[in-house]
């Protein structure tokens, strides 16, 4: 969901309803702020193939890649829905 806010900021489309401005220089995918050390993301792949994500962004959320990779007959979508915390 943050992607739409990042694209709008990049193209200069103003959004009046945001709590915080979205940056255009390497914005965080969780909060949209630019150049924040706390927003750096580390992705680690464990020896068993499990993927973990580490960040100090206060807007981070947990999600599981396994559920996204598999899908099901009743839930074929592999997109991860998110609640946006800035709009």
Q: Return averaged pLDDT per consecutive 10 residues of the chain, 87 residues in all.
A: 89 90 89 89 82 86 64 64 61
Round to whole Å and give the CA distance between 30 and 53.
Answer: 12
Number of compact structural domains in the chain: 1
In a domain, 41, yes or no: yes
User: Is 56 contained in some domain?
Assistant: yes
Say if 8 falls within a structural domain: yes
Q: So what's the pLDDT on residue 80?
A: 57
49 domain-assigned: yes
In a domain, 80, yes or no: no
Do the domain assignments include residue 17? yes
Q: Which helix (H) or strand (E) holds 9?
A: helix 2-10
Residue 50 domain-assigned (yes or no): yes
For 67, the enclosing helix (H) or strand (E) is helix 65-70
As a whole number of angstroms, the distance between CA 56 and CA 33 comes to 13
Domain with 24, as residue range(s), is 2-70
How far apart CA 27 and CA 2 sit, in angstroms, is: 10
DSSP 54: E
Can you give the pTM of this predicted structure? 0.63
């Amino acid at each position: 969901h943050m992607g739409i806010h990042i694209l709008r900021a990049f193209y200069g489309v103003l959004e009046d309803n945001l709590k915080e401005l979205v940056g255009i220089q390497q914005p965080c995918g969780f909060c949209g702020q630019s150049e924040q050390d706390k927003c750096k993301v580390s992705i680690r792949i464990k020896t068993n193939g499990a993927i973990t994500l580490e960040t100090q962004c206060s807007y981070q959320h947990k999600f599981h890649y396994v559920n996204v990779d598999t899908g099901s007959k009743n839930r074929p979508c592999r997109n991860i829905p998110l609640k946006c915390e800035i709009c």
